[in-house]
């Protein structure tokens, strides 16, 4: 396993749409394992393949405190949404930025996907797990949570990150 580099906003590669996985083979399993290791090391609770510059429809999620409930979703698709929820979101591709996402996330969802065994499964999720899955699926579609914010907030975030990047050079 390896820790992968995470792309940071405003990298244009974060806005590319990921391609479906045709077959869950060894390369996909290795990518998913590397993504999980990267997510845990960051540390984070979710990571999508496009964030590590892999245009595959794969996400990994673990919202547990103990970091022992890893879930991998290949070609995830939300089949049902219910309710609305507001939540302060952050993102490994937008480090150090946390903002309220208002009325853009469903409170409860059903998602279908393939597991690492290549078999389809369905999962019902609510609360933080539902938000995290929706957030990561957005990445597969080339969308970041900050795009739900006002143009003013987006510009402020971009400026803040550019200043931080200059300081770190």
Nearest to 35 by CA among 20, 43, 47, 26: 47
Nearest to 63 by CA among 39, 76, 45, 90: 45
* Count of structural domains within the chain: 1
122 in any annotated domain: yes
What pLDDT, on the 0 to 100 scale, is given for residue 103?
A: 85
pLDDT (tens digit, 9 = 90+) per residue, 4-53? 999 999 899 999 999 999 999 999 999 999 999 999 999 999 999 999 99
Compute the distance between CA of residue 35 and CA of residue 14 in angstroms, rounded to an integer. 16
Catalytic site residues? 136
Q: For the whole model, what pTM was predicted?
A: 0.95
pLDDT (tens digit, 9 = 90+) per residue, 81-113? 999 999 999 999 999 999 999 889 999 999 999
67 in any annotated domain: yes
Start-to-end Cα distance in the chain: 28
84 in any annotated domain: yes
6 in any annotated domain: no
2 in any annotated domain: no
What pLDDT, on the 0 to 100 scale, is given for residue 123?
A: 98
CB hemisphere CA count around 73 (13 angstroms): 26
| Structural domain of 83 | 12-168
- CATH number, domain with residue 154: 3.90.45.10
**What integer best gives the mean pLDDT of the chain?**
95
5 in any annotated domain: no
* C-beta of residue 17 within 8 angstroms of C-beta of residue 141: yes
Q: Which residue has the higher pLDDT, 142 or 164?
A: 142
Q: Which residue has the higher pLDDT, 140 or 166?
A: 140
């Amino acid at each position: 396993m390896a820790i992968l580099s995470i792309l940071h906003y405003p990298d244009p590669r974060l806005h590319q749409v990921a391609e479906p996985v045709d077959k869950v083979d060894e390369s996909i399993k290795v990518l998913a394992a590397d993504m999980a290791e990267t997510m845990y090391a960051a540390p984070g609770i979710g990571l999508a393949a496009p964030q590590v510059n892999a245009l595959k429809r794969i996400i990994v999620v673990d919202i547990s405190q103990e970091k022992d409930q890893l879930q991998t979703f290949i070609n995830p698709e939300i089949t049902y949404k219910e309710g609305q929820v507001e939540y302060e979101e952050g993102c490994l591709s937008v480090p150090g930025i946390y903002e309220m996402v208002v009325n853009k996330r469903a409170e409860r969802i059903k998602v279908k996907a393939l597991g690492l065994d290549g078999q389809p499964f369905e999962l019902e999720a609510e609360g933080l797990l539902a938000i995290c899955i929706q957030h990561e699926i957005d990445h597969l579609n080339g969308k970041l949570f900050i795009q739900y914010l006002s143009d003013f907030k987006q510009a402020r975030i971009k400026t803040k990150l550019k200043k931080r990047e200059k300081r770190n050079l």
